[in-house]
């Protein structure tokens, strides 16, 4: 099987498994797990923030960030395809009691943000937070330019708002731009990033920000049931994810580009090459008179797993467990089917 459904399917490397077996551990709810503490120190330093906190999942880290940044009844500005709004099971309403104010663009600027804000008036909710997603999942792994993040950071400051970045795949963004994750994070208050996607750890996400923010997020994590005990076993893989696996993502990006260019050449499949910036390829199959669902079934019979993400859109995600040869074989199989 060639599995191009998501980078979440990556399995831990033998080095990770060895580090997990040997990890020094303690009770992390007491703050006594040395490996978790090391992962948190490494993360805070790398992102240029004061503190970091280890979470079981990206969803929990994002939702803890919302709990820490907002109060019930607040409004949160984010885009209509943002994972926090679209894919987190309504958690922002359920847990933080906040309401979304949606912008119809994955990457937006000061103007769109300011249009979403309301004047101070008893009729309107209080807006307290802006969330941006980098890379943007439903937009096909597209990257926020640093200038655009800076613009949102400045505009948010002008209006007294905090900025949270859902940076599940921030290392893909850093690789694409050839900058550090600290450069990307400089103008936002908090960042969530995943260890368990392209970086191949079996589980875990980090939240980074100021000491005061992480203190609040620490309490939120406890409320959400995310306090883990000997979590150093997972953190050991997380350290390798950051220090080693983040350095190989250009390979996945090159594979995505190859796949995109080859599929575009078929003529009947449409790929917007401009949006292929990292490890995802969105393919419009509408010209083939078959739905994404039909394509997905057909390819499965040929040993290729791929997810439909719209009635006529397939999403291919490259990662460490698909090789260049797998991509060439995928292209061959698709060419036979168009």
Ligand X SMILES: Cc1ncc(COP(=O)(O)O)c(C=O)c1O
Kindly list the residues in this chain that would bind ligand X in the complex (CB under 6 A). 57-59, 62, 83, 133, 137, 166, 168, 194, 196, 205
Question: Of 55, 52, 4, which Cα lies nearest the Cα of 234?
Answer: 55
Pick 12 or 262: Cβ nearer ligand X? 12
Pick 35 or 62: Cβ nearer ligand X? 62
- 48 contacts: CB under 8 Å, gap ≥ 6: 182, 185, 186
Q: How far apart are CA 282 and CA 140, in angstroms?
A: 6
Residue 54, Ramachandran bin (φ over 0: left; ψ between -120 and 50: alpha; else beta): beta
Pick 96 or 205: Cβ nearer ligand X? 205
Q: How far apart are CA 75 and CA 55, in angstroms?
A: 25
Minimum distance, C-beta of residue 152 to ligand X, in the bound complex (Å): 17
Minimum distance, C-beta of residue 56 to ligand X, in the bound complex (Å): 8
Pick 59 or 275: Cβ nearer ligand X? 59
- 70 contacts: CB under 8 Å, gap ≥ 6: 76, 96, 98, 128, 129
Pick 25 or 82: Cβ nearer ligand X? 82
Pick 52 or 269: Cβ nearer ligand X? 52
Q: Which two tokens stand for residue 62?
A: 């994002």
Residue 183 — φ and ψ, nearest 5°? -60, -40
Q: Specify the 3-state DSSP secondary structure of 300.
A: helix
> Is 95 in contact with 74 (CB distance < 8 Å)?
no
Minimum distance, C-beta of residue 101 to ligand X, in the bound complex (Å): 19
Question: Of 87, 138, 83, 78, which Cα lies nearest the Cα of 310?
Answer: 138
Minimum distance, C-beta of residue 233 to ligand X, in the bound complex (Å): 17
Minimum distance, C-beta of residue 289 to ligand X, in the bound complex (Å): 30
Minimum distance, C-beta of residue 123 to ligand X, in the bound complex (Å): 33
Pick 70 or 137: Cβ nearer ligand X? 137
- Residues found in the chain: 338
Q: How far apart are CA 152 and CA 71, in angstroms?
A: 21
Minimum distance, C-beta of residue 59 to ligand X, in the bound complex (Å): 3
Which residue is listed with tokens 């750890």? 201
Q: Which residue is nearest to ligand X (CB)?
A: 58
């Amino acid at each position: 099987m060639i599995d191009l459904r998501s980078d979440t399917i990556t399995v831990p490397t033998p080095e990770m498994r060895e580090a997990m077996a040997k990890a020094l551990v303690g009770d992390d709810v007491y703050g006594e797990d040395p490996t978790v503490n090391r992962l948190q120190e490494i993360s805070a330093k790398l992102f240029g923030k004061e503190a970091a906190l280890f979470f079981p999942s990206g969803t929990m880290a994002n939702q803890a960030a919302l709990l820490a940044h907002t109060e019930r009844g607040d409004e949160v500005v984010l885009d209509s395809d943002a994972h926090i709004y679209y894919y987190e099971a309504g958690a922002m309403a359920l847990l933080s009691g906040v309401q979304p104010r949606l912008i119809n663009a994955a990457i937006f600027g000061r103007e769109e943000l300011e249009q979403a804000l309301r004047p101070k008036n008893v009729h309107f909710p209080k807006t307290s937070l802006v969330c941006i997603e980098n890379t943007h999942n439903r937009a096909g792994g597209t990257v926020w330019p640093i200038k655009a993040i800076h613009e949102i950071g400045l505009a948010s400051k002008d209006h007294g708002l905090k900025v949270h970045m859902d940076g599940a795949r921030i290392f893909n963004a850093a690789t694409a731009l050839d900058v550090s994750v600290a450069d990307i994070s400089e103008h936002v208050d908090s960042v969530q990033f995943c260890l368990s996607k392209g970086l191949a750890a079996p589980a875990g996400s980090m939240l980074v920000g100021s000491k005061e923010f992480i203190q609040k997020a620490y309490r939120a994590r406890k409320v959400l049931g995310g306090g883990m005990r000997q979590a150093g076993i997972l953190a050991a893989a997380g350290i390798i994810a950051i220090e080693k696996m983040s350095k190989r993502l250009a390979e996945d990006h090159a594979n995505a580009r190859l796949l995109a260019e080859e599929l575009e050449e078929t003529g009947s499949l449409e790929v917007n090459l401009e949006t292929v910036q990292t490890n995802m390829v969105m393919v419009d199959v509408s010209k083939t008179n078959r739905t994404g669902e039909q394509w997905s079934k057909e390819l499965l019979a040929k040993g290729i797993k791929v997810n439909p993400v719209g009635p006529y859109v397939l999403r291919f995600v490259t990662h460490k467990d698909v090789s260049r040869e797998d991509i060439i074989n995928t292209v061959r199989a698709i060419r036979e089917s168009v």
